[in-house]
Amino acid sequence: MAELQLHNTLTGKIEKFVPQKAGEVRMYTCGPTVYDYAHIGNYRTFVFQDILRRFLKLRGFKLNHVMNLTDVDDRIIANAAAAGVNIRDYTAKFVQAFFDDCKTLSIDAPEHWIRATDHIEEMVKLIQRLQEKSFTYPGDGSIYYRIAKFPNYGKLSKIDLTGIQAGARVDNDRYEKESARDFALWKAPKPGEHFWETAIGPGRPGWHIECSAMAMKYLGETLDIHTGGIDLAFPHHENEIAQSEGATGKPLRLQAFSPAVRPRRCSLPQAAQFHIRWSAAGGQFCGAAAEFRRSAEAGEISRGQARGYGRAHCEGGGRV
Ligand SMILES: [Zn+2]
């Protein structure tokens, strides 16, 4: 049989795929952060990884594929606290909507669906391993990763860090805030918000440590394929590499594949593009009209535009 070739984001090349153990593939996919409904660009990623997993199985590989639900995140914790409910209750409807949408898109379930909230202990243990090797330093009740200690930082995304202020500490999960160099592994509790009481102190895990700890638990210290949106390459996957390789001393990925997932641009307003969901009934857009209305109420488009977009997209089969 012809050899399998895949694009490796780490090297930027198309390479022969050789798993660590012949005939078996260990694959990890960064799943959705369930603070809201997943958007169409997210599903581009999940459709891609579904095609990949089906193809690997078709080629006879024994597949162990893990996908997580990020249900610990600054936005989730803040929104749950504001709503006066616990994290599970806050995320339940978004998790259900995600599974419904995957079903609509015929996305096969991975071998393991896992949640960050079920793996706090593993995250704490991994942070302790990093502490023992001096990859961390404390600050105001949080624990930060010292990027200066990991010279290979940036090898996946090829990010140029020269313009980023060294030592700037940022503990927010959101991309634009986390572009500063050192990042939070563990975050101090905020008043009124949920926290865990652990061996490294009270608080909550940073987003990046979640995936490193969970991948290690289910797939071992290294893995064969890591997928995720290309928008996760920096900082998320870069930080995962720094954490996992820092702790184990082994390359996290023999092959690191982050397929491009940016949705094609269309003329729709951003808010509408980003909240479109397929309904379970025949792939028609069910949520689009409501989103256009919401965009109109927010003053992003006029009411006439909202009606026009709604007619064009909801009655026209919902193609963007
Ligand atoms: Zn991840």
- The pTM for the full model equals 0.77
Q: Are 251 and 245 in contact (CB under 8 A)?
A: yes
CA of 292 to the centre of ligand 1 (A): 30
Question: Sign of torsion, CA 296 298 299 300?
Answer: negative
Q: Are 243 and 43 in contact (CB under 8 A)?
A: no
And the tokens for 63? 């597949």
Query: 290-303, pLDDT tens digit by residue?
Result: 656 666 776 766 77
Q: Kindly give, in sequence order, each residue whose CB lies less than 8 Å from that of residue 26, ignoring residues fewer than 6 positions away.
A: 19, 20, 64, 219, 220, 223, 224, 225
CA of 269 to the centre of ligand 1 (A): 28
What is the spatial distance between Cα 63 and Cα 293, in angstroms, rounded to a whole number? 43
What pLDDT does 99 receive?
A: 93
Phi and psi angles of residue 273, each rounded to the nearest 5 degrees, phi first: -55, -35
CA of 46 to the centre of ligand 1 (A): 13
What is the spatial distance between Cα 11 and Cα 31, in angstroms, rounded to a whole number? 24
Higher pLDDT, 259 or 213: 213
Query: 197-230, pLDDT tens digit by residue?
Result: 999 999 999 999 999 999 999 999 988 998 887 7
CA of 198 to the centre of ligand 1 (A): 22
Q: Which amino acid is at 197?
A: E
What pLDDT does 303 receive?
A: 78
Would the pLDDT of 191 be above 70?
Answer: yes
Comparing CA positions, the residue from 74, 103, 99 lying closest to residue 175 is 74
What pLDDT does 98 receive?
A: 92
Chain mean pLDDT for the chain: 78
Question: Sign of torsion, CA 285 90 269 227?
Answer: negative
Comparing CA positions, the residue from 78, 31, 35 lying closest to residue 50 is 31
CA of 246 to the centre of ligand 1 (A): 17
Torsion of CA 122, 125, 131, 136, to 10 degrees: 20
Would the pLDDT of 261 be above 60?
Answer: no
Each residue of 30-49: b (16+ CB within 10 Å) or e? bbbbbbebbebebbbbbebb
- Reading phi first (left if > 0) and then psi (alpha if -120 to 50, else beta), residue 112 is in beta
CA of 304 to the centre of ligand 1 (A): 40
CA of 311 to the centre of ligand 1 (A): 37
CA of 293 to the centre of ligand 1 (A): 33
CA of 233 to the centre of ligand 1 (A): 10
**CA distances for 22 relative to 27, 30, 132, 224, angstroms:** 14, 24, 34, 11
And the tokens for 253? 């990925």
Query: 47-57, pLDDT tens digit by residue?
Result: 878 888 888 89
Structure confidence at residue 314 as a pLDDT band (50, 70, 90): very low
